[in-house]
Chain A
């Protein structure tokens, strides 16, 4: 059994944590001590810089053949109440109407629709690029890519080749849920397996696409399953270096097949952010997805290991359907303020973490600066960033 100071020493030496360490941290009663350690790693990697982007969510269809227990859109058929599939023009209009202050990224995640031609997706991307040629298209989870490959009878490589030709720039990290078969077989047994999800990302990375990785926590999984999940991601990242950010997503129980489970609480959110920051030493970024955790908790997560808040988002529907009380979008000014009030430096980035604009820090609280001066001797070696 490790102790907190063993782990602290490892972190200071830049030594990789093992499963046992991560489990110890998940079970440690002193949340603040774990958070403080994660914060050291976060600050060693990024200082006070806290990233966000101007992005827009588009969900062109919620029709889905999969029956994931956690999803409020499970097994939704075309024509059912609440089912909706956008016409391409309808999707493009989302961007056209925002061209006075356009997003830099469009993030598209959909249900697994059995009735659309593959060209729909190619045209979808092309259309956005026509409206704004430099827009970054972050589209389709590995689950969708896997579905495309099966449904349209292609290899993953072929799917990517076609989508890249249409304008695909990177992949979001969704659909990962929990990789371990004990859990995955119970919550989403009719879509890409953990191994398939990882294989899609492996190939994406090999083909030059950067991607993110998520983990849906707080339902029926154990801490062991979470660590196993992160271990698989860390192994693939060692191999490909293609992941940008890790994004823990809190399960929301409204209107889905696990509505009797309590939602994970803020404490679990913060702990999961912190442990992932410590365990995933080869990931540059850990994102506090404010839609899942609420902006208030996301702000605190910036002191528990997170360095990214995702973006303005504009129009979010998946968590909304699962009972999230977070707003559907935050304005640019709200995000800057959220970061500044936490004593951090807001940095607008593009999808690939190039700096678009660095904002000045707020005068208060000055804690971050002064604390670092004071703790200068506690040197933290960054991971493979």
Chain B
């Protein structure tokens, strides 16, 4: 079998993978950013990956190849925070999204300096230009080498860590899912390292040539700054990093596990009771821990843990709901998702775009019923231009006193493609025209293997997340969702939660999380798998436990029905969603539930909570009795 090897392309990693083709002629080798390499390992596109150690902790079921790492004992030079003003005075830090380890280490070290600036995720090329005034930047990898000595203030994270702990720091290591590679394969990677380290002179020289950077400085970087061992000292440094990061709830509790290590300390898994107790105390969980809770804890246990977390986050015992209306402005769509019964292709006789008259009537009804918001979503209709949306939004906001919660990421991307405009421009213009917040629909499962099956032409996971990132940066809040129960596994669901949680760490822009199972209807091509109420309640409870950084979890009664929605309030939810006037997408799939505000309030009370109406930001609009 071909071993799929993935590695970070940076210069500092090159000595470890340069000779992989020689030491492992059977292996395939792919190079990517740290974030992408970690994604490949998690989503089973790679068997072994040279990737950030923080990602290993977040996944929770990763072993490291002994003896090999990318680390530093003192200055590392290529992981730095730079700024025009003293580091301790910074209010914002632009950062390269691609390395979780550097971000977590950066946060830890800044907290020690007594400062907690806002982090702004950027693409690597944009970062250096962001440095100004009280905004610094966290720069990693080759980009950092190119910018050495360009800024008056520099915090070298390797050096700061060493000064704090007296220990080496490990940034990356060869990682594999548990049991996926054996000692023999690990020893081949060790052989590749041995051969690769011999090549450091050549690699530095080549890179100097290509980059124009000083050759001697690069030689010193590869020979002195970067250390390639993972021995006892490095392991101690890594364990300490995991401990400190867990203490600050930046990473799940993690142990260093090595390939082929059969010691009792790593062989015996944690008892579920202990995991439940940590989860109910709000500790950050790894994907693997979430999966264990989902599959091994009893329904009551996982529900009680989620209920405990809910009670801590919302001690008032209030469950909110919103009075709004879902309007599907068009059903024309170019996507043809295999699970969707709502869309019609372009040119189809049943295709529609709602007129202003119809929209006005629907919105007036919302106003008359005391509603506060319109949820506006539709298909990807290539006939609608950005001006159409801008005009519509301005008209809506001028005519009706309603919040505008509109356009899922998929629609934003679609408008950008039609107009040939970047997502940021699309969102800025729509925001200016009246867009208040962005619904989190269309996330489905943010694992591309699954998306390719169920929604071939839909945007990939990274694109979905990146729309949300931009929206949050512009000050637009959004919800986060998940539709499971197609071809996804429990692990896929956990990776989905992890991706949302990491973005939330970065932006804090998600208000709430909702999940639901795939609502199957005859005529669509995907059969449901692992759906039903037991799965729903487990899934929602585990989501509450995984999302230590998201305030609200809502019960999706529109899909699950008001009965299950009510029970879900005891499984971690603190919101009952909306009193919907219509929901065309779900009702096309044969699920229709109607309920009024009095019935919702009755159910909330019966479940032991006090009801309150809310707006999109979850501010209470009524005083709970």
Contacts and interface: CB of A to CB of B under 8 A. Distances in A.
Most chain A CB within 10 A, of B272, B531, B563, B606, is at B563
Given A296-B533, A296-B561, A266 B296 contact: no
Interface stretch (B217-225, B334-342, B534-542): B534-542
B567 A367 contact: no
Contacts of A337: 532
Interface stretch (A33-41, A67-75, A180-188, A193-201): A33-41
A371 interface: yes
A268 interface: yes
Interface size class of B (residues with CB under 8 A): 35 or more
Contacts of B560: 296
Given A35-B300, A365-B538, A367-B299, A265 B566 contact: yes
A31 B567 CA distance: 9
B295 interface: yes
Given A341-B535, A364-B490, A300 B564 contact: yes
B530 A267 contact: no
A338 interface: yes
B603 interface: yes
A371 B567 contact: no
A119 B273 CA distance: 63
A290 to B, nearest CB: 12
Interface string B394-429: 000000000000000000000000000000000000
B563 A265 contact: yes
Contacts of B296: 366-367, 370-371
A88 B599 CA distance: 43
B534 A365 contact: yes
Nearest to A342: B534
A313 to B, nearest CB: 19
A268 B606 contact: yes
B300 to A, nearest CB: 4
A106 interface: no
A33 B566 contact: no
B39 to A, nearest CB: 24
Interface in A260-307: 262, 265-270, 293-294, 296-297, 299-300, 302-303
B346 interface: no
Given A262-B602, A268-B606, A371-B297, A294 B561 contact: yes
B441 to A, nearest CB: 23
Interface string A21-61: 00000000111110110010000000000000000000000
Nearest to B296: A370
B535 A266 contact: no
A296 B295 contact: no
B303 interface: yes
Given A267-B566, A364-B530, A367-B295, A374 B272 contact: yes
Given A303-B299, A341-B530, A365-B294, A270 B567 contact: yes
Given A32-B307, A267-B567, A371 B537 contact: no
Interface string B582-610: 00000000000000000100110011100
B477 interface: no
A20 B599 CA distance: 31
A250 to B, nearest CB: 10
A368 interface: yes
Contacts of A364: 295, 490, 530
Contact of B532 (A266, A270, A342): A342
B564 A297 contact: yes
20 contacts: A32-B304, A33-B300, A35-B300, A36-B304, A262-B599, A266-B566, A267-B606, A294-B561, A296-B532, A296-B533, A296-B560, A296-B564, A297-B533, A297-B564, A300-B537, A300-B564, A341-B530, A341-B531, A365-B294, A370-B296
Interface of B: 271-273, 294-301, 303-304, 307, 490, 530-535, 537-538, 560-561, 563-564, 566-567, 570, 599, 602-603, 606-608
Given A36-B298, A265-B607, 12 more contacts: A32-B300, A265-B566, A268-B606, A296-B563, A296-B564, A299-B533, A299-B534, A300-B537, A300-B564, A303-B534, A367-B297, A371-B297
